[in-house]
Amino acid sequence: MANINCTLKDVKSDNFVDFIHSDHWGLIVNSNKVASPSDLLVVETYIKNLNSMDTEDVQSIWLP
């Protein structure tokens, strides 16, 4: 979570992640406000680049 927030800060976003939860549907990432498409791309890219994640299991992110 802290690394995602640092990445968002690096791209000058005022959005930040305050909660991440994993369940049987996937990852739930909660942020302080509605994420812009560029914020969603930052989060998706970061998660896909994690060594412990199987990138085939990471599908496109979406808003509820």
30-44 pLDDT tens trace: 899 998 999 989 988
- This prediction has a pTM of 0.68
Distances (CA, A) of 35 to 7, 10, 24, 51, 52: 14, 16, 23, 25, 25
How far apart, in whole angstroms, are the C-alpha atoms of residue 37 and residue 60? 12
Label residue 9 by pLDDT band (50, 70, 90).
very high
What does the pLDDT look like over 15-25, one tens digit per residue? Answer: 999 988 877 77
